[in-house]
């Protein structure tokens, strides 16, 4: 999944969960740790693999189900020291939806579930082809991704992309545009 897809997927899950549990939309402050959690696995693994060569692929410690409790605990401690428990929940949900998205996403284009993407270090993803660096690798992947939309086999992926974008924009507007809306006097 692309970064915007991870954030969008996390937002949909978080917004619906928050509304179901508290009958309120997400708060301004909670969407930032949510977005950070949704991006965190890629912020760790992709540069370490594509720029520094620490891992053979962009799926390693940040994407590991085994590391998720550690990252969630660190987030809880960090946000609790700021008296921001909703932030740690939002971060953990964002991180968890990132992993879920990476497992499910390949099935949208007819592939199998990618469970191996989250089982590091038990399962190692094959090395990505040698790249010239982070920017060049992202450019190569993006160019390939855009090129797939001319094929009828990728209609389910295109439908997912458009549906996710429409759903997240509708929910975000319905929620009062958290993250950019004016801060309320008292916000949890």
pLDDT tens series, the chain, 188 aa:
889 999 999 999 999 999 999 899 998 889 999 999 999 999 999 999 888 888 888 899 999 998 878 877 877 787 777 666 788 889 889 999 999 999 998 887 778 999 999 999 998 888 876 667 788 888 888 888 788 777 777 777 788 888 989 999 999 999 999 998 765 544 54
Residues 6+ apart with CB under 8 A from 122: 66
Cα–Cα distance measured from residue 173 to residue 25, given in angstroms and rounded to the nearest whole number? 10
Cα–Cα distance measured from residue 6 to residue 14, given in angstroms and rounded to the nearest whole number? 12
* pLDDT at res. 185: 42
The whole model's pTM is what?
A: 0.85
42-94 pLDDT, tens digit per residue, is 999 999 988 888 888 889 999 999 887 887 787 778 777 766 678 888 988 99
Domain boundaries, the chain: 3-174
Burial of 38 (0-12, 13-18, 19+ CB in 10 A): buried
């Amino acid at each position: 999944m692309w970064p915007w897809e991870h954030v969008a997927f996390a937002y949909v899950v978080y917004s619906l969960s928050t509304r179901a549990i508290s009958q309120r939309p997400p708060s301004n402050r909670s969407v930032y740790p949510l977005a950070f959690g949704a991006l965190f696995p890629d912020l760790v693994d992709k540069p370490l693999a594509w720029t520094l060569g620490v891992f053979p692929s962009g799926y390693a410690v940040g994407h590991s189900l085994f590391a998720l409790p550690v990252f969630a605990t660190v987030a809880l401690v960090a946000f609790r020291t700021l008296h921001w428990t909703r932030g740690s929940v939002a971060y953990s949900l964002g991180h968890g939806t990132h992993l879920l998205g990476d497992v499910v996403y390949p099935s949208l284009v007819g592939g199998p579930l990618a469970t191996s993407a989250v089982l590091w270090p038990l399962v190692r993803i094959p090395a990505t082809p040698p790249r010239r660096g982070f920017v060049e690798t992202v450019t190569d992947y993006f160019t390939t991704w855009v090129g797939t939309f001319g094929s009828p086999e990728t209609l389910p992926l295109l439908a997912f992309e458009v549906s996710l974008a429409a759903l997240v924009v509708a929910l975000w507007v319905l929620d009062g545009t958290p993250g950019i809306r004016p801060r309320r006097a008292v916000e949890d």
